[in-house]
Amino acid sequence: MLEISGLGHAYGTHRVLEGIDLKVGEGELVTIVGPSGCGKSTLLRCIAGLVPPTEGKVVLKGAPIDGVPDDLAVVFQDYSRSLLPWLTVRDNVALPLRRRGLGKAERRAQAVKALASVGLEDAAGKYPWQLSGGMQQRVSIARALAYKPTLMLMDEPFGSVDAQTREDLEDLVLQVHRAEGMTILLVTHDIDESVYLGDRVVVLARNPGRVRDELPVTLPAGRDQIGTRADAEFVRLRAEVGRLVRGVVKDSEPPDATDAEDADAEAVATAVEEPAKK
């Protein structure tokens, strides 16, 4: 359903992305993980048609993307700038439904339903600034859900909420993905989150941003915050993704690296890890 080929992007002379090939199938939940500054947001903006890539192309359901596709919803990291302060929560969620050609009553009914699915039915008549950060981000997610997009793009959507809310929102995404069969591409710099949520994890390297590797997540579909994170397979995958993100060679490669090469890998690991923690 989504096919990215040879995608590259430069801001002026600064090459940010290079040679990105990526396919996402109908109903898949793919996570993209990489250190900060590797071009994750740029990649999502190219897919969303907000930034024209300088090389390569993005094809959604057989049609090349030029401009923002109708059938797409994006949840940005910065919830405080994504909701309109002069509209109630319900009207914020209902607004994009105009593009679906629905009447006012129907738009409002769907907005209230989506708000209920994120546990915010009581906040429908409030304004965004009357809600906590986590609640505002839930409104953004409800807005994307109400729209029922062919593809939902999420850019570090839980980056600025507290740990408990983050776990709740992660589980909400899994639940929606299962219930609605929605195709989701979610970007994160959090290694655990990429494994916990993904059917497949795509690891990006940086300077310039490119696909380092892809791993299928062979965990059972019914995931839960405590059981799954203690699962031996989860622990193995998290370690493998961690090594890839930090640029350390994989275990499966022949053990012929000299001590000097190991030291290099360690140096890279430290250099890459530091900014990602910000």
Ligand X SMILES: Nc1ncnc2c1ncn2[C@@H]1O[C@H](COP(=O)(O)OP(=O)(O)O)[C@@H](O)[C@H]1O
Q: Kindly state the tokens that stand for 152.
A: 């939902």
**Closest distance to Mg ion from the beta carbon of 40 (Å):** 5
Q: With respect to Mg ion, which residue has the nearer C-beta, 8 or 157? A: 157
**Among ligand X, Mg ion, none, partner that 11 touches (CB below 5 to 8 angstroms by kind):** ligand X
**Closest distance to ligand X from the beta carbon of 163 (Å):** 21
**Among ligand X, Mg ion, none, partner that 42 touches (CB below 5 to 8 angstroms by kind):** ligand X
Q: With respect to Mg ion, which residue has the nearer C-beta, 114 or 153? A: 153
Q: With respect to Mg ion, which residue has the nearer C-beta, 160 or 225? A: 160
Q: CB-based contacts of 232: which residues, under 8 Å, 6+ apart?
A: none
Q: CB-based contacts of 189: which residues, under 8 Å, 6+ apart?
A: 33, 34, 35, 36, 40, 156, 159, 276
Q: With respect to ligand X, which residue has the nearer C-beta, 41 or 183? A: 41
As a whole number of Å, the end-to-end CA separation of the chain is: 34
Q: How far apart are CA 35 and CA 40, in angstroms?
A: 9
Q: Kindly state the tokens that stand for 173.
A: 């995404």
- For Mg ion, the nearest residue by Cβ is 41
Q: How far apart are CA 230 and CA 228, in angstroms?
A: 5
**Closest distance to ligand X from the beta carbon of 55 (Å):** 15
Q: With respect to ligand X, which residue has the nearer C-beta, 115 or 161? A: 161
Q: With respect to ligand X, which residue has the nearer C-beta, 181 or 275? A: 275
Tally of CA atoms within 13 A in the half-sphere of 110 that contains its CB = 21
41, 92, 136, 188: which one binds Mg ion (CB under 5 A) = 41
**Among Mg ion, ligand X, none, partner that 65 touches (CB below 5 to 8 angstroms by kind):** none
**Among ligand X, Mg ion, none, partner that 129 touches (CB below 5 to 8 angstroms by kind):** none
Q: How far apart are CA 155 and CA 104, in angstroms?
A: 30
Pick the stretch among 34-42, 46-54, 159-167, 200-208 that binds Mg ion (CB under 5 A). Answer: 34-42
**Closest distance to Mg ion from the beta carbon of 198 (Å):** 17
* 188 part of the interface to Mg ion, by CB under 5 A: no
**Among Mg ion, ligand X, none, partner that 38 touches (CB below 5 to 8 angstroms by kind):** ligand X
- Output the CA angle 68-114-69, nearest 5 degrees: 10
Closest CA to 250 of 206, 215, 210, 277: 215
**Closest distance to Mg ion from the beta carbon of 205 (Å):** 15
Please give the residue ranges that form the binding site for ligand X (CB under 6 A): 11, 14, 16, 34, 36-42
Q: Are 55 and 100 spatial neighbours (Cβ–Cβ below 8 Å)?
A: no
Residues in the chain: 278
Q: Are 229 and 170 spatial neighbours (Cβ–Cβ below 8 Å)?
A: no
Q: With respect to Mg ion, which residue has the nearer C-beta, 120 or 276? A: 276
Interacting residues toward Mg ion by CB under 5 A: 40-41
